[in-house]
Amino acid sequence: MDNITSVIAENISYKVNDNKLFHNLSFSLNTGESLHIKGPNGSGKSTLLRIILGITNPTKGSISINSTKDKCYLGHKNALKNYLSLDDNILLMEFDNHPCLKKYIEILDLKRYLDVNVANLSYGQQKKLGLLRLFLNSSDLIILDEPFVGLDKETQIILTDFLTDQLKENKTLIYTSHIECDIDSKTLLLK
């Protein structure tokens, strides 16, 4: 396993309206490594992830990411279209021709619901559909914001196994989760 550095954060700080979320944070991650960002509610975990993604700019410091591929991100919001059927949503994610699509639809037990509108799916089923973006990803860097929320035990295990496999394939993983999970990872504690 060649350990190439894939994410380096140097002295990043962030504050909104005099609310200092974090200060002089530095870390670096190699490929194949995973980082679990921990901290109480409102400590700035999601914000840090958005900074890593480049959506938000840090007040100070810099982030560099060693990959030209698209990042794979899943946040609190699922980025699904409520008024479209499951099928159409897969089309929108441009996964309709993905070789593994069938397999994961099967695994996640969504097959029966392909023509049901997303609005009618249960909370967990919507989350599962959102997770398709992860399961079918083709990127080096995976960033997940509370991926286990709303999933039943069985799916949580499937997800953990998948992530462990991805790490073996030398991908980099950064995630937050208030739910314990068995992924071998470094920890970053905020506040």
Partner 1 sequence: MNELKLEYLKLKKKTRSWLGPILVFWLIMLAFPLTVEFMQDKLEIGFFSVLWIAILISMMLATEDIFIEDYNDGSLEQTIIKNTSFQFLISIRIIVYWLMIGVPISILSFIFSLGTSEDLLLSISVIPLSIISSYIFLNLFALGSALSLNKGSLLGALITMPLALPVLIVLGKSIIAFQLGINYLEFILLLLGCLSIIIIAVPIIVSFIIKAHLE
Partner 2 sequence: MIKKFIHQFASPKTYLYQVNRFYPYIFYSSLVIYIISLIWGLFFTPEDFVQGNSYRIIYLHVPASFLSQSLYLAMAVASVTYLVWRVKLAAYLIIAIAPIGAMTTFIALISGSIWGIPTWGTWWQWDARITSTLILFIMYLGLISLHNSFSNFEKADKLTSWLVIIGAVNIPIIKKSVDWWSTLHQSASITLTEKPTIDVLMLYPLIGSIIGFLGLITCLVLTSSKYQILIREKTKSWIRDYV
Ligand X SMILES: Nc1ncnc2c1ncn2[C@@H]1O[C@H](COP(=O)(O)OP(=O)(O)OP(=O)(O)O)[C@@H](O)[C@H]1O
Structure tokens at 173: 């993983």
What does the CA dihedral 6, 10, 15, 16 come to, rounded to 10 degrees? -40
| Ranges within 153-182 binding partner 2 (CB under 8 A) | none
Site string for partner 1, 105-144 (x = CB under 8 A): ----------------------------x-----------
Q: If binding is defined by CB under 8 A, does position 114 make contact with partner 2?
A: no
Q: If binding is defined by CB under 8 A, does position 16 make contact with a second copy?
A: yes
Closest separation in Å from C-beta 119 to partner 1: 8
Work out which of 69, 111, 123, 186 binds a second copy, going by CB under 8 A: 123
- Give the closest residue to 135 by CA, choosing from 67, 82, 74: 74
- Beta-sheet pairing, 186-189 with 141-145: unpaired
Q: If binding is defined by CB under 6 A, does position 46 make contact with ligand X?
A: yes
| Ranges within 31-70 binding partner 2 (CB under 8 A) | 59
> CB count, 10 Å around CB of 156?
18
Question: Residues in contact with ligand X, total (CB under 6 A)?
Answer: 21
Work out which of 5, 28, 88, 124 binds partner 1, going by CB under 8 A: 88
DSSP-derived secondary structure for 108-167: TT-GGGTTSBGGGS-HHHHHHHHHHHHHT---SEEEEESTTTT--HHHHHHHHHHHHHHH
Using DSSP's 3-state secondary structure scheme, residue 177 falls into coil
Residues within the interface to ligand X (CB under 6 A): 16-17, 19, 21, 39, 41-47, 113, 116, 120-125, 150
Residues within the interface to partner 1 (CB under 8 A): 50, 53-57, 68-71, 73, 75-84, 88, 91-92, 94, 133
